Amino acid sequence: MTKILLLGGTGDALRIARQLTSVDVYSLAGLGKVPDDLPCSVRVGGFGGSEGMARYIADEEIGLVIDATHPYAAQISANAVNAARHAGVPCWVLRRPAWQPRAGDDWRMIDGWDELTMALAPFRRPLFTLGREPLSHLDEIPPHQFWLVRCLDSHEDTERARIIAARGPFTLEGERALFALQHVDVVVSKNSGGSATEAKLEVARERRLPVVMLRRPSLPAADREFESVAELLDALHLSR
Ligand code: NAP
């Protein structure tokens, strides 16, 4: 049976991992929870770049790499394509379709922190949903702003920022309550796609708030690309 290396760290990857077998390996960077109830083995930590991953693929006799990492985890995705090519095995990737703005939405597309700072200048109460990056900019908050930073990491609040340690999925009711209570006037988001963290966009729409959206990184093409877990699992069952 083809031995699979599944690169994860997302809810979708975990759903795929639950369908693997004891010969397969689920790989995590080591930033979050490590599941202990999977039918496959789990390895944690980096490979040492694409060369390290290529060596791992050869040593472990991996026959298929599946990249189900987050759409903004650009380095590991590029490494997966390059390592698989180098090792001579196929690389499949799961790419959730990006969210699309609807009529009336006010999305302001940005590419990095400098553009983000400029885009936020007119606002007072931004809600950051980008992960931990804003935590390293807490001493740069302009005097007219108070930041809400929602991420997985716990961090002490400051005079100018409230840190909300939370993991999705987030409900519409919960997001409505948060926006109202905290007087959010702009949302900062990655375009993650999927339903788990989409409710904030619906609430921004209801309250006619702008969304400052970080563009997705561009990634090298894999051998096969899938838009949903179901589609990928179907292909996997057919190929095994
Ligand atoms: P990244 O910048 O693409 O990767 C940085 C390095 O971390 C990689 O070069 C690799 O180290 C190691 N790494 C990442 N994912 C790995 C995996 N599944 N297994 C083994 N090593 C891994 O990634 P990131 O943006 O820091 O994200 C890290 C992890 O968090 C990813 O697995 C991703 O799926 C998950 N995640 C990311 C986001 C996000 O917004 N970026 C959101 C939710 C979840 P080596 O080069 O040493 O192999």
pTM over 0.85: yes
120 pLDDT higher than 90: yes
How many angstroms separate the CA atoms of 135 and 151, rounded?
Answer: 9
pLDDT at 32: 81
pLDDT at 211: 98
**CA dihedral for 98, 71, 23, 41, sign (positive or negative):** negative
Atom of ligand 1 nearest to the CA of 72: 41
Residue nearest to atom 45 of ligand 1 (CA): 46
Q: Is 97 touching ligand 1 by the criterion CB < 6 Å? A: no
The strands making up 126-129's β-sheet, listed across from edge to edge, are: 107-110, 211-214, 186-190, 126-129, 147-151, 161-165
Q: Is residue 102 in some structural domain?
A: no
Q: Is 222 touching ligand 1 by the criterion CB < 6 Å? A: no
Instruction: For residue 154, give its domain range.
Output: 107-214
The reply to whether 147 and 69 lie within a common domain is no
Mutate to test the pocket of ligand 1, among 33, 55, 69, 133 (most ligand atoms within 8 A of CB): 69
The reply to whether 114 and 66 lie within a common domain is no
Number of domains in the chain: 2
pLDDT per residue over 134-143, tens digit each? 999 999 999 9
Mutate to test the pocket of ligand 1, among 76, 151, 189 (most ligand atoms within 8 A of CB): 76
The reply to whether 16 and 84 lie within a common domain is yes
The reply to whether 151 and 227 lie within a common domain is no
Average pLDDT of the segment spanning 155-184: 97
The reply to whether 207 and 111 lie within a common domain is yes
pLDDT at 240: 79
pLDDT band at 239 (very low <50, low <70, confident <90, very high): confident
The reply to whether 153 and 188 lie within a common domain is yes
Domain of residue 115, CATH code: 3.40.50
Residue nearest to atom 15 of ligand 1 (CA): 29
pLDDT per residue over 43-100, tens digit each? 999 999 999 999 999 999 999 999 999 999 999 999 999 999 999 999 999 999 999 9
Atom of ligand 1 nearest to the CA of 78: 3
